Structure 1
Amino acid sequence: MQVIMLKDVDKVGDKHEVITVKSGFGRNYLLPRGLAIIANDSNMGRLNEMIRREEAQEQKKLDVYQAIAAKLKGKTLKVGAKAGTSGRIFGSITQLQVKNHLMEQFEVEIERKKIILPEDVKELGTYTLTLKLHSQVIQEMEMEVAQD
C-alpha cells in the first residue's frame, strides 16, 4: 500500500514523502490517526499544493528563525550530566535534553528534529551542535557538557 505521509513518524517516513507500507499498518495505524493518506491520483495531485502551501508558511517564519539564530550566535549552551570519575556520562545527551536546556537558558523554542548533535555525546567536554532552523538558516552553537 502506498501512502503520502502527513506528519513525520520516526522510523517510518517524513512529512510529504510517498512510501510503501504493509496494508494492515497503513489501514489500522497511519490512516485512522491522520498520519498519512492513500497515495491515489487525486491525493498525488494535492501533494504538490500541500508542499507549496507549507513552503509559503515556512518562508513567513524565516524572519523568526533568523532572529533566533542571531540570539544564539556566539552563545554556549551549558548542559549538566551525571558522570563517573573518568568523565564518562551515565547514558548520553539527547535532542530532547538540548531542547529543554535551550528553553531554560535562552528562552527559545526549537523543534527536537531541528537539533543535530555531532555524535553520541557520552563524555564531559565541549561539542558543536547544529540547529537547522530552515533550509536558509543553519546555526552552529557550542555545547558544554559539565559534571552535574
Structure 2
Amino acid sequence: MAKLILTQEVSGLGTAGDVVEVKNGYARNYLLPRGFATVWTKGGEKQVESLQAARAARAAANLEDAQAQAEKLQSGTVRIERTAGAEGRLFGAVQAADVAEAIEAAGLGTVSKRDITLPSHIKTVGNHQAQVRLHEDVVAVVELQVVAAKGSKK
C-alpha cells in the first residue's frame, strides 16, 4: 500500500489535502503520473494541515455562494435545442458539456461539466433532469427541456 497526499479532488477517493492509502499500482500508474497526488512525507504532513485549514476557510464562504446558485438553478428550466428525427429521437445524445453551455447561455451562472451528473443518456426530446454539484454539501437539480431544433423532421 502507498500513502499519498491528494493534490486535487479524485472521485471516490477524497479531496485535495487528504492523506490516503491506495494500492501501489493505482498510485504508480494513475495518481502520481497525472499529478493527482504526491508521495506522503513528514514535511508534506505539515503542508496538508495548512491546505486543510485554507480549504475550511474557503468552504465556509463558498457554501453560501453555492446555496444561492442552487436556488437560482432550481428556479428555472434550461432549454437545449438539438436536431431530432420524426419520432423525437435526437441525433446524438445530450452531454454534460451541452448542459453546462445551456446553463451559462440561460444566464444562470458558470458550471463545470465535471460537476454535472446526468442520470441516463438523454436521447429524446422532452423534459429531463440533471444534478449539478456546486459544493460538497450542495447539489442542485436542474430541469432540462430538450426541444427539436428548427429544421428537424419533427
Relative to the length of structure 1, the TM-score reads: 0.76
Which residue matches 2:74?
A: 73
Gaps of 5+ in 1: none
**Structure 1 position 135, deviation (Å):** 3.2
Query: Kindly, what percent of the aligned residue pairs are identical?
Result: 21
The 1:24/1:92 distance shift into structure 2, 3 A limit, reads: same
Question: What is the rounded CA distance, in whole Å, between the counterparts of 1:133 and 1:51 in structure 2?
Answer: 19
Asked whether 1:95 is paired with 2:96, we answer yes
1:83 aligns with 84
Counterpart Cα distance in 2 of 1:86 and 1:146: 12
- How do residues 105-124 of structure 1 correspond to structure 2 at under 5 angstroms? 105-124=106-125
Matched residue, 2:65: 64
Query: SS of the residue aligned with 1:102?
Result: helix
Shift of 1:143: 0.3
Q: Which amino acid aligns with 1:29?
A: P
- Read off the aligned partner of 2:90 and give its amino acid letter: I
Structure 2 gap segments, 5+ residues each: 150-154
Residue 96 of structure 1, CA deviation: 1.0
Query: By how many angstroms is 1:142 displaced?
Result: 0.9
Question: Which amino acid counterpart does residue 83 of structure 1 have in structure 2?
Answer: A
Q: 1:48 to 1:94 in 2, by over 3 A?
A: farther
CA RMSD of aligned residues (A): 2.9
Q: What's the TM-score once normalised by structure 2's chain length?
A: 0.74
Cα pair 1:3 1:20 within 8 Å, conserved: no
